[in-house]
């Protein structure tokens, strides 16, 4: 047995199902070991796609997704997906090939100090410098990647070490025990909740990672407290729930901003500051805050909690529910605010103008998909509309790259989602800019048998930057480009291709595409003049008393 074979045995021991990556000269020993493994190696068309696949796999399962590259340019190509996973709290293990240790002291072909390079974008990383330490490095990598707050780790394997004789066995996996909040913090938080006249819950991705959706919904329902969720907290409470205020997180003011203007207590549950800066909703730090999470609060001048309830989130919420008394309290402002939010959402339901308005496009997409189906949103102008208007009944049914906001995640992410949930329908929602960054992974999807729909918001440019330029300068520049014929591109790859020629065609086209046994592409022209109209309404927003 050599080191590469011991590495694969350790990965099998960690329950790894897939490794996403590309072959290279410096990872040949690892690839050879994988030929005799239960782990399925999925050959991708670009290392960035491999890292995004591992990223989304980790988000959906809570188990570290694994990606593999060779050294040099292969490793640098992994960086974007690794950084995305790390900032968004997705467990991921990246493995890179490397030159032999006998070549590191001199200038060497494709050599980079990968441990130094990955250090800023990972929780931890290390190089295997002796065969015997492989089990310890692998076990530590997975433990750190999957421990709250999850993130990315990196293992670097020099080619000469990979080929060396090795002995040893994988280390046993320890089970993490729950931690529980102190009685003092629970009692202090319950007293604040009981006194508040107009409390508001801000729920983040940490509540989803902790599988605290049921506890949060019960807590909000029985105490009659409205819930706003971050982009990454979608589905933590069903969007149909009468206390759900849907998503918050836009840089511009929205109706939900009124809820924060009028609250006298924010109960932050599993909220991470990277999801939505507190300076946007608490600029002067005047709103009292209760922090409920698995970890203590991060330091920010606009986020200084009066009480930190640190421990298992579900247990904390249920204990607070037992200790809090809100009998006789009036309905909070958020309950009346929901009616206005709901009314605006349905305003475009019958809109038949063409090109399709983003509000209508997202409304129709929501009507077609079931509560369990999954949408992966890419980054661009469409992301703002998806984050604001695509609502979820269940956690992890709309995934958005938010902390790192990386373009190109949708298509590789949809492939990973289909591997995790083959029984569900999957849609990659992307702009034409993001589509062209990783559309090559549609060949990977066809090859491995993961049919999903790619819905392209087509405006012939970088719409989000155009939006920002118009808001800041009143004009735009350097954002337009040309596109291939997306239908012909799909057909040339053995996929199904569709073009929406009228707004009335959208729902039938979505249904037809979702029924295909191969990946499909829908090219839908979009009217992004709505971006500027939204900005104007945002600036003129006056909150009702």
Distances (CA, A) of 335 to 197, 224, 227, 320, 496: 13, 9, 10, 21, 44
Q: Flag whether 545 is in a domain.
A: no
* Residue corresponding to tokens 């090559």: 440
Q: Are residues 203 and 265 in the same domain?
A: yes
Q: Are residues 324 and 463 in the same domain?
A: no
Is the torsion defined by CA of 114, 120, 125, 130 positive or negative? positive
527 SS3 class: coil
HEC per residue, 314-343: HHHHHHHHHHCCCCCCCCCHHHHHHHHHHH
Domain match, 156 and 206 both: no
Going residue by residue through the chain, which has 545 residues, state the pLDDT in tens, using 9 for 90 and above.
999 999 999 999 999 999 999 999 999 999 999 999 999 999 999 999 999 999 999 999 999 999 999 999 999 999 999 999 999 999 999 999 998 877 777 677 777 899 999 999 999 999 999 999 999 999 999 999 999 999 999 999 999 999 999 999 999 988 878 899 999 999 999 999 999 999 999 999 999 999 999 999 999 999 999 999 999 999 999 999 999 999 998 888 888 999 999 999 999 999 999 999 999 999 999 999 999 999 999 999 999 999 999 999 999 999 999 999 999 899 999 898 999 898 889 999 999 999 999 999 999 999 999 999 999 999 999 999 999 999 999 999 999 999 899 999 999 999 999 999 999 999 999 999 999 999 999 999 999 999 999 999 999 999 989 988 998 999 999 999 999 999 999 999 999 999 999 999 999 999 999 999 999 999 999 999 888 888 887 777 878 75
Domain presence at residue 544 = no
Flag whether 177 is in a domain: no
Tell me whether residue 340 is in a domain.
no
Domain final residue, candidates 163, 195, 227: 163
Bridge partners of 374? Answer: 426
CB-based burial, 12-42: b 16+ in 10 Å, e otherwise: ebbebbbbbbbbbebbbbbbebbeebebebb
Domain extent, residue 471, equals: 349-536
| Domain end (from 312, 335, 358) | 335
Q: 315 and 368, same structural domain?
A: no
Q: Is residue 173 part of a domain?
A: no
CATH of the domain at 21: 3.40.50.970
Q: Please indicate, yes or no, if residue 541 is contained in any of the structural domains.
A: no
pLDDT in the model for residue 125: 96
E strand or H helix at 313? helix 313-323
Q: Do both 124 and 194 map to the same domain?
A: no
pLDDT for the residue 545: 56
**341 within domain boundaries:** no
Buried/exposed 398-424: b ≥16 CB within 10 Å, e otherwise: bbbbbbbbbbbbbbbbbbbbbbbbeee
Same-domain check for residues 115 and 145: yes
Q: Are residues 376 and 227 in the same domain?
A: no
Same domain, 115 and 259: no
72 and 200 inside one domain: no
Integer Cα distance of 192 and 188 in angstroms:
7
- Rounded to whole angstroms, the Cα distance separating 390 from 10 reads 40
> Which of the listed residues 335, 368, 395 is the one where a domain comes to its end?
335
CA end-to-end span of the chain? 72
Q: What is the DSSP string of 211-269?
A: T-HHHHHHHHHHHT--EEE-GGGTTSS-TTSTTEEEE---SS--TTHHHHHH-SEEEEE
Domain-located, residue 207: yes
Q: Are residues 292 and 421 both part of a single domain?
A: no
Nearest Cα to Cα of residue 451 among 500, 415, 487: 415
Residue 96 and residue 130 in one domain = yes
Please give the tally of structural domains in the chain: 3
Cβ contact 47:22 at 8 Å: yes
The encoded tokens of residue 105 equal: 């002291």
192: domain CATH number is: 3.40.50.1220
Neighbour tally for 498: CB within 10 Å = 22
Residues 327 and 392 in one domain: no
Are the CB atoms for 58 and 86 separated by under 8 Å? Answer: no
Q: What pLDDT sits at residue 187? A: 97
């Amino acid at each position: 047995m050599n080191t590469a074979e011991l590495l694969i045995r350790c990965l099998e021991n960690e329950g790894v199902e897939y490794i996403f990556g590309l072959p290279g000269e410096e990872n040949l020993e690892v690839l050879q070991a994988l030929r005799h493994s239960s782990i399925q190696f999925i050959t991708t068309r670009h290392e960035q796609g491999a890292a995004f696949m591992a990223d989304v796999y980790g988000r959906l399962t809570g188990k570290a997704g694994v990606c593999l590259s060779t050294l040099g340019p292969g490793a640098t190509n992994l960086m974007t997906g690794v950084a995305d996973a790390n900032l968004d709290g997705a467990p991921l293990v990246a493995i890179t090939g490397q030159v032999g240790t006998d070549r590191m002291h001199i200038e060497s072909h494709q050599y980079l100090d990968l441990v130094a390079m990955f250090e800023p974008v990972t929780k931890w990383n290390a190089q295997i410098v002796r065969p015997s330490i492989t089990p310890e490095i692998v076990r530590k990598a997975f433990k750190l990647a999957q421990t709250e707050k999850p993130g990315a780790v990196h293992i670097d394997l020099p080619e000469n070490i990979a080929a060396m004789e090795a002995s040893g066995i994988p280390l046993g996996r320890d089970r993490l025990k729950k931690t529980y909040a102190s009685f003092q913090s629970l009692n202090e938080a319950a007293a604040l909740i009981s006194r508040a006249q107009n409390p508001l819950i801000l729920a983040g991705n940490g509540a989803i990672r902790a599988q605290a959706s049921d506890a949060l919904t019960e807590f909000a329902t029985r105490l009659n407290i409205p819930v706003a969720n971050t982009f990454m907290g979608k589905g933590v409470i069903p969007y149909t729930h009468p206390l759900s205020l849907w998503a918050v997180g836009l840089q511009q003011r929205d109706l939900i901003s009124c809820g924060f203007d009028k609250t006298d207590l924010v109960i932050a549950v599993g909220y991470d500051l990277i999801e939505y800066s507190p300076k946007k909703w608490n600029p002067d730090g005047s709103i009292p805050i209760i922090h409920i999470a698995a970890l203590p609060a991060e330091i920010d001048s606009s986020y200084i909690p009066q009480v930190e309830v640190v421990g298992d989130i579900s247990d904390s919420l249920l204990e607070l529910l037992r200790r809090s008394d809100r009998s006789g309290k009036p309905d909070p402002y958020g309950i009346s605010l929901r009616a206005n939010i709901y009314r605006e959402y349905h305003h475009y339901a019958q809109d038949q103008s063409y090109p399709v308005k983003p509000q209508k496009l997202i409304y129709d997409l929501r009507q077609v998909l079931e509560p369990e189906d999954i949408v992966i949103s890419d980054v661009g102008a469409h992301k703002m509309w998806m984050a604001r208007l695509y609502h979820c009944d269940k956690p992890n049914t709309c995934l958005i790259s938010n902390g790192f906001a990386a373009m190109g995640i949708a298509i590789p992410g949809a492939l990973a989602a289909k591997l995790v949930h083959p029984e569900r329908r999957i849609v990659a929602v992307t702009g034409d800019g993001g589509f062209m960054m990783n559309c090559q992974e549609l060949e990977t999807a066809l090859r491995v048998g993961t049919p999903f729909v790619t819905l392209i918001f087509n405006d012939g440019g970088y719409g989000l930057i155009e939006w920002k330029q118009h808001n800041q300068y009143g004009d735009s520049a350097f954002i337009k480009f040309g596109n291939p014929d997306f239908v012909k591109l799909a057909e040339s790859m053995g996929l199904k291709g569709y073009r929406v020629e009228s707004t009335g065609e959208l729902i039938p086209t979505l249904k037809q595409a979702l029924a295909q046994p191969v990946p499909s592409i829908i090219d839908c022209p979009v009217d992004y003049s709505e971006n500027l109209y939204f900005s104007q309404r945002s600036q003129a927003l006056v909150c009702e008393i």
